[in-house]
Amino acid sequence: MDVPEDIEVFDKRKAPVVQVPLVTLQAKGNFSFNQAAMDALGNPEGVEYLYSPSEKILGFRPADPNDPHAYRVRRQARSLNYQSAGIAFRSHYGIPKGQALRYRAELVEDTLFVDLKDSAKDVTHRRRQAGSSESQSA
């Protein structure tokens, strides 16, 4: 058997990069954005939040982080994801907290939209379950 020239060792530390913009409404109230979402927005330092209460559509638009209506976006530690504060915004509009829900987002012109009526992936227990299995094995 001839060994193919393009054979390579699989590196399990290299997770595939998600190409679809995703926004997660964190359980405690913040928003997180994957790299594809940030790239779609042009990697801004800040965003404005928009919301249609009747349609349940959430929007994120790039903004100067010093603008009074803007929220600073920061990179999460040891992650390719980004986060911005959302507790007051979600409380004001009655957007539920308590579950971490991940939505596909769509860029229209310069705004990234999330339709809260669309199905979302519940990612609430992902970290908690990983942490509990580590503590049980220790």
Q: Are 102 and 119 in contact (CB under 8 A)?
A: no
The Cα 60–Cα 48 span in angstroms is 6
The Cα 104–Cα 109 span in angstroms is 16
**pTM for the model:** 0.78
Q: Are 128 and 135 in contact (CB under 8 A)?
A: no
The Cα 120–Cα 137 span in angstroms is 31
Please give the chain's pLDDT, 138 residues, in tens: 888 888 888 776 666 666 899 999 999 999 999 999 999 999 999 999 999 999 999 999 999 999 999 999 999 988 889 999 999 999 999 999 999 999 999 999 999 999 999 999 999 875 544 444 433 334
Q: For the sheet containing 46-52, what is the strand order?
A: 70-72, 46-52, 57-63, 111-115, 106-108
